Amino acid sequence: MNHTFAPVVNDPKLEKHENDHLELSLPTDDVDISGDEDEESDEEFYTPGREDLTEIRTKILHESVLSALKRVAAQKAFASAHNFTKVLKHRRNIAAKVSKYELNGSYTMRGNLRMLSRVRFNQNELKIACSSWEGTFYVLQKDETGYYQETQRLALGFHSEMATIAWSPKDEGLLVSGGGEGKVNILEIGTATPRRP
């Protein structure tokens, strides 16, 4: 079958004949253009192993299948015996007990919205003063059980984080606090208004 086309330069599928017509050479059934020669070189060859190796691999496979069957049977038994209601009630019971606890740490305090900036013990370690980055001031006192309970909370009017707090070395009822904006307060524990420095 001959097809006549416009000449295309350097087209390997086209062959030039004596009468200057170009003929398209289409592949025929006896020409293989799939490139199977390259694929043949990439083939993997199977070499049978020794008989004892085959036996060992068969034993390993057999033991693996048996253990998988046991595992699946145990999982099916657990799934069929699983009582979702009982587990849910148990988890809710645990959650109710845990919700009664409060976190005790360096950045946690009930009602505190930001991190604590300073924590100071007084000299006899019966009181703790804490300041937070929101400008709030806390005093905690040790009770008879040995835990510290909040006894006083004040917002001293700081507009930025409290820079520091310190107990008076002579009077354990006096506390000094300073803010990042330069404001200083002298507070007598138990009173709601700070003294003027």
pLDDT tens sequence across 1-37:
555 555 555 555 555 554 555 555 555 555 555 555 5
Residue 160 and residue 182: Cα distance in Å, rounded? Answer: 10
Residue 81 and residue 120: Cα distance in Å, rounded? Answer: 56
31-35, 37-41, 88-92, range with greatest mean pLDDT: 88-92
pLDDT of 101 strictly over 60? yes
98-102, 136-140, 156-160, range with greatest mean pLDDT: 136-140
42-56, 82-96, 156-170, range with greatest mean pLDDT: 82-96
Mean pLDDT, the chain, as a whole number? Answer: 76
32 or 79, which is more confident?
Answer: 79
pTM, full prediction = 0.41
Whether the CB-CB separation of 114 and 133 falls below 8 Å is answered with yes
- Nearest CA to 185 out of 116, 152, 171, 175 is that of 175
